[in-house]
């Protein structure tokens, strides 16, 4: 498995809240995702989804 970008994991989600952010709905979004080997985050913002989901083989973001 190859990771093309590294992630910094934050435990403090309060500093990432802003209008239009996914911080309040990230778990619902993750639950809707089918199994996948590659994850492409096109709207990273505060990274609520990517910081809280199980990592696939390849991440682009």
Q: Residue 16: its pLDDT value, please?
A: 60
> CA-based diameter of the chain, in Å?
35
The structure's pTM equals: 0.58
Q: Residue 17: its pLDDT value, please?
A: 65
Token digits of residue 26: 């990230």
Domain chopping of the chain, boundaries: 1-7+22-61
Instruction: Map residue 26 onto helix, strand or coil.
Output: helix
* b/e code 35-59 from CB counts within 10 Å (16+ = b): eeeebeeeeeebbbbbbebeeeeeb
- pLDDT tens-digit map of 1-54: 555 555 555 455 555 666 677 778 888 988 998 988 888 888 888 888 888 888
């Amino acid at each position: 498995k190859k990771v093309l970008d590294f992630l910094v994991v934050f435990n403090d989600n309060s500093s990432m809240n802003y209008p239009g952010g996914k911080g309040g709905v990230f778990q619902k979004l993750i639950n809707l995702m089918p199994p996948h080997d590659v994850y492409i985050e096109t709207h990273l913002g505060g990274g609520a989804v990517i910081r809280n989901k199980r990592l696939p083989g390849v991440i682009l973001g």
